């Protein structure tokens, strides 16, 4: 269930299903029923429903939902953008089965309709949104948003691009979004995610085999992607078998960032962690650290000597390391060694003038390299792929292009952190709370990734697991968290994961909304919603 389908891939899934014998109208019927279910689930009988339909199949879903809600006793008003006679295909069939009035829809007329509505079903535009909203369509969307009425969006909140999550001129904010078969990148990528509310994924009878034909590259980041590479500590383990991570400290007055990373690496399960520091910094760090060991070095050659022991299998470089030639030399020394590497913060910025000199050393290196830039650091290494440089190119594509170019696993951080590999795999993370936007939180993330590399996880899995664990720690630590709080939260998060991994996979794949049959809320309504107890789940 963690595959994400672009609108083009989704349309292919529709097409494959239809070609295999399921009529399109049946899919639309199930889609509309799922929307009606979700609306009825949240809004009691007696609520006045306003269904706003657009000119395509998204509007067709709206006609079906309107009919089913009316059959269930809701007072339903339906308004259509454009001419009814121009509806075609399945949408025309759905409209023909609607027995109520079809009112014209425009930016002025919708205002009094909204005043009377208890809930709005937004069936204006879904996967077929093709351009910036203008004219009446835009005025309607803006009026709905201004009204503050709760919105149930069909497939996507109208105005959100399902591929990129971008707002095309204007977009609704939904309380609930009902999508079909699999979520779309636009449900997870910002700003789309902030418009979706709770996302429900409904089963409309598209079979899973279509995924094999389509081969989608994008995933939601969840334990299913990496849990089998993250075994619980086993009988017979000793500290050396769990790996040894080195974390580079900054100078005397800047040791805090590396200390955060080092503690996180240890909590993530590295058997040993050593903070390696310039002499003066080592003395300061020593007053703060207990389980984390400390070794001092004088120069890049001394640093390289510390890496010579092959048991030291992971290195975290960058947090508060300082920008410039000194850090470049340490990165070069680490890249010449055999340990897995996490390069963060100053280790990235130090290569802003000549990123290719970094990538040349990364490409073809047998041990993994993980880069963890936020958008600012990313723009320094990949200026042509920066957010502001590329218009509507989604974050996922930018991260994959950066991974291909650099040969590294790229963790492009933010609310919707994307983890990308040079082979084209990419996952979007959606469990991180905004409380993580606090100083030092990225240092903790780098440390977790380093700890997981030390434990022997491959680069992509280590990076994706680190991002997810970091998000869970943020959720557990909650509002008011500071970076110091995060690493200790790894204890309950890991305990929960290990417990889940030990359980047999008892549950069938979650079926969000039963396809036929009784009308009222199914047993498991929510899949992959922001409200779930276990975001991401293990599915
Ligand atoms: N058989 C299928 O393909 C199924 C499709 N489903 C629904 O169909 C939707 C996709 O349907 P469509 O491909 O018809 O696309 P949409 O209905 O999302 O939008 C396409 C229509 O909107 C117009 N349009 C696009 N951008 C516009 C803009 N900026 N301003 C004004 N008009 C604009 C297009 O000219 C076209 O008429 C999905 O989101 C989903 O809701 C579901 O019924 C499930 C089955
Ligand atoms: N609004 C947000 N929602 C969720 N996660 C966030 C948000 N803002 C930042 N984060 C996460 O917090 C971390 C911040 O890292 P970074 O920007 O490097 O900060 P620092 O250098 O201060 O540690 C990243 O993992 C990022 O994904
Ligand atoms: K919609």
Answer yes or no: is 102 a known binding residue.
Answer: no
Pair (177, 276) in one structural domain: no
Which among 208, 229, 255 is the end of a domain?
208
Q: Tokens 């789940």 belong to which residue? A: 537
Answer yes or no: is 56 a known binding residue.
Answer: no
State in Å: Cα 213 to ligand 3 middle.
27
Asked whether residue 233 carries a pLDDT value surpassing 50, the answer given is yes
State in Å: Cα 436 to ligand 2 middle.
5
Q: Is residue 532 a part of any domain in this protein? A: no
State in Å: Cα 529 to ligand 2 middle.
22
Phi, psi of 18 (to 5 degrees): -65, -45
Q: Is residue 304 a part of any domain in this protein? A: yes
Residue 517, pLDDT score? 32
- Alpha-carbon span 499 to 507, nearest angstrom: 15
Question: Stretch 48-56: mean pLDDT, rounded?
Answer: 98
For a substitution probing ligand 1, which of 5, 14, 54 has the most ligand atoms within 8 Å of its CB?
Answer: 54
ipTM value for the complex: 0.95
Pair (201, 248) in one structural domain: no
Pair (179, 86) in one structural domain: yes
Pair (188, 252) in one structural domain: no
Q: Please indicate whether residue 35 or residue 235 has the higher confidence score (pLDDT).
A: 35
Residue 506's pLDDT band, with cuts at 50, 70 and 90, is low
Ligand 1: atom nearest CA of 27 is 45
Residue 308, pLDDT score? 94
* Three-class SS state of 212: helix
H or E segment at 341? strand 340-343
Name the residue with the closest Cα to ligand 1, atom 16: 128
Q: Is residue 222 a part of any domain in this protein? A: no
Q: Provide the sign of the torsion angle of the four alpha carbons 129, 9, 178, 529, taken in this order.
A: negative
Pair (342, 203) in one structural domain: no
Tens-digit pLDDT profile for residues 169-198: 999 999 999 999 999 999 999 999 999 999
Tens-digit pLDDT profile for residues 451-462: 999 999 999 999
Which among 189, 208, 227 is the end of a domain?
208
Pair (124, 27) in one structural domain: yes
Which among 155, 189, 208 is the end of a domain?
208
Question: Is 133 a pocket residue for ligand 1 (Cβ < 6 Å)?
Answer: yes
Residue 507, pLDDT score? 54
Peptide bond into 191 cis (omega under 30): yes
State in Å: Cα 521 to ligand 2 middle.
37
Answer yes or no: is 88 a known binding residue.
Answer: no
The residue segments making up the domain with residue 130 are 7-208
b/e map of 161-179 (b: 16 or more CB within 10 Å)? Answer: bbbbbbbbebbbbbbbbbb
Nearest bound ligand to the CA of residue 177: 3
State in Å: Cα 221 to ligand 3 middle.
25
Average pLDDT, the chain: 93
Name the residue with the closest Cα to ligand 1, atom 24: 129
Q: Which residues pair with 247 in a beta bridge?
A: 275, 316
Asked whether residue 162 carries a pLDDT value surpassing 80, the answer given is yes
Asked whether residue 375 carries a pLDDT value surpassing 90, the answer given is yes
Answer yes or no: is 349 a known binding residue.
Answer: no
Residue 503, pLDDT score? 74
Pair (199, 259) in one structural domain: no
Pair (284, 197) in one structural domain: no
- When divided into structural domains, the chain yields a total of 2
Q: What percent of the chain has pLDDT over 90?
A: 88
Answer yes or no: is 413 a known binding residue.
Answer: yes
Pair (297, 172) in one structural domain: no
Residue 536's pLDDT band, with cuts at 50, 70 and 90, is very low
Q: Indicate which CATH number applies to the domain containing 266.
A: 3.40.1190.20
State in Å: Cα 141 to ligand 3 middle.
10
Nearest bound ligand to the CA of residue 184: 1
State in Å: Cα 475 to ligand 3 middle.
30
CA 480 to chain CA centroid, nearest Å: 23
Pair (383, 438) in one structural domain: yes
Question: Stretch 224-231: mean pLDDT, rounded?
Answer: 93
Residue 533, pLDDT score? 30
Question: Is 8 a pocket residue for ligand 1 (Cβ < 6 Å)?
Answer: no
Which of 238-247, 495-504, 514-523 bottoms out in mean pLDDT, i.e. has the lowest? 514-523
For a substitution probing ligand 1, which of 10, 52, 56 has the most ligand atoms within 8 Å of its CB?
Answer: 56
Sheet containing strand 218-220, edge to edge, reads 218-220, 426-428, 418-420, 409-412, 369-371, 340-343, 314-317, 244-248, 272-278, 293-297
- Alpha-carbon span 24 to 26, nearest angstrom: 5
Tens-digit pLDDT profile for residues 412-437: 999 999 999 999 999 999 999 999 99
Residue 537, pLDDT score? 32
Name the residue with the closest Cα to ligand 1, atom 40: 58
Question: Is 32 a pocket residue for ligand 1 (Cβ < 6 Å)?
Answer: no
Which of 59-73, 177-191, 273-287, 517-531 bottoms out in mean pLDDT, i.e. has the lowest? 517-531
Residue 502, pLDDT score? 81
Both structure tokens of 197: 């509310």
Asked whether residue 254 carries a pLDDT value surpassing 50, the answer given is yes
State in Å: Cα 446 to ligand 2 middle.
11
Closest CA to 427 of 265, 536, 342: 536
Residue 389's pLDDT band, with cuts at 50, 70 and 90, is confident
Q: Is residue 400 a part of any domain in this protein? A: yes
Answer yes or no: is 21 a known binding residue.
Answer: no
Question: Is 167 a pocket residue for ligand 1 (Cβ < 6 Å)?
Answer: no
Q: Is residue 187 a part of any domain in this protein? A: yes
Answer yes or no: is 239 a known binding residue.
Answer: no
Residue 364's pLDDT band, with cuts at 50, 70 and 90, is confident
Q: Is residue 372 a part of any domain in this protein? A: yes
Pair (413, 274) in one structural domain: yes
Name the residue with the closest Cα to ligand 2, atom 26: 414
Asked whether residue 2 carries a pLDDT value surpassing 90, the answer given is yes
Q: Indicate which CATH number applies to the domain containing 141.
A: 3.40.50.10260
Closest CA to 345 of 264, 459, 261, 282: 261
Q: Is residue 535 a part of any domain in this protein? A: no
Pair (190, 268) in one structural domain: no
Q: Is residue 309 a part of any domain in this protein? A: yes
Q: Which pTM value belongs to this model? A: 0.92
Question: Stretch 302-312: mean pLDDT, rounded?
Answer: 95
Question: Is 155 a pocket residue for ligand 1 (Cβ < 6 Å)?
Answer: yes
- Within 6 A (CB) of ligand 2 lie 345, 374, 413-415, 417, 432-434, 436-437, 439-443, 445, 470
Q: Provide the sign of the torsion angle of the four alpha carbons 197, 212, 396, 482, taken in this order.
A: positive
Residue 232, pLDDT score? 84
């Amino acid at each position: 269930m963690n595959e994400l389908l672009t609108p083009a891939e989704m349309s292919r899934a529709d097409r494959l299903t239809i070609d295999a014998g399921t009529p399109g109208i049946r899919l639309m019927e199930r889609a509309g029923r799922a929307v009606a279910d979700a609306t009825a689930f949240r809004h009691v009988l007696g609520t006045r429903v306003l269904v706003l339909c657009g000119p395509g199949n998204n509007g067709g879903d709206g006609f079906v939902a309107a009919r089913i809600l009316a059959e269930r006793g809701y007072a339903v008003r339906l308004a259509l953008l454009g001419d009814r006679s121009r509806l075609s295909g399945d949408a025309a069939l759905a409209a023909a089965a609607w027995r109520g009035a079809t009112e014209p829809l425009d930016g002025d007329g919708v205002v009094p309709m909204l005043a009377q509505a208890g809930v709005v079903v937004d069936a204006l535009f879904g996967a077929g949104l093709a351009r910036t909203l203008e004219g009446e369509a835009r005025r309607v969307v803006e009026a709905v948003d201004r009204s503050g009425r709760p919105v149930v969006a069909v497939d996507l909140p109208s105005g959100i691009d399902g591929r990129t999550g971008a707002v095309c001129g204007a977009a609704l904010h939904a309380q609930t979004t009902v999508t079909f078969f699999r979520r779309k990148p636009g449900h997870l990528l910002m700003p789309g995610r902030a418009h979706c509310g709770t996302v429900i994924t409904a089963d409309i009878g598209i079979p899973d085999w279509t995924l094999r034909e389509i081969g989608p590259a994008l995933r939601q980041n969840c334990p299913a992607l990496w849990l089998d590479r993250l075994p619980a500590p086993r009988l017979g383990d000793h500290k050396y078998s769990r790996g040894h991570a080195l974390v580079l400290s900054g100078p005397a007055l800047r040791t805090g960032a590396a200390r955060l990373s080092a503690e996180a690496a240890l909590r993530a399960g590295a058997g040993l962690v050593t903070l390696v520091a310039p002499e003066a910094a080592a003395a300061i760090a020593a007053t703060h650290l207990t389980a984390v060991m400390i070794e001092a070095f004088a120069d890049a050659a001394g640093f390289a000597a510390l890496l010579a022991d092959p048991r030291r299998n992971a290195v975290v470089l960058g947090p508060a390391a300082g920008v410039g030639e000194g850090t470049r030399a340490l990165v070069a020394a680490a890249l010449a060694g055999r340990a897995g590497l996490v390069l963060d913060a100053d280790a990235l910025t130090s290569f802003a003038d000549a990123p290719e000199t970094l990538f040349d050393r990364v490409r073809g290196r047998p041990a993994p390299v993980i880069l963890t830039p936020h958008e600012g650091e990313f723009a320094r290494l990949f200026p042509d792929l920066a957010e502001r440089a590329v218009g509507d190119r989604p974050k996922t594509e930018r991260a994959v292009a950066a991974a291909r170019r650099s040969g590294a696993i790229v963790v492009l951080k933010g609310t919707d952190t994307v983890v990308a590999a040079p082979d084209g795999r990419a996952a979007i993370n959606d469990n991180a709370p905004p409380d993580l936007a606090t100083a030092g939180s990225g240092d903790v993330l780098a440390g977790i990734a380093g700890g997981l590399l030390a434990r022997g996880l491959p680069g992509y899995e280590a990076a994706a697991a680190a991002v997810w664990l970091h998000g869970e720690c943020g959720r557990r630590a909650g509002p008011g968290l500071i970076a110091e709080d995060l690493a200790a939260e790894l204890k309950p998060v890991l305990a929960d994961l290990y417990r889940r991994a030990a359980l047999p996979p008892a549950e069938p794949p979650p079926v969000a909304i039963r396809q036929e049959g009784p009308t009222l809320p199914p047993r498991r309504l929510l899949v992959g919603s922001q409200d779930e107890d276990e975001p991401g789940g293990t599915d």
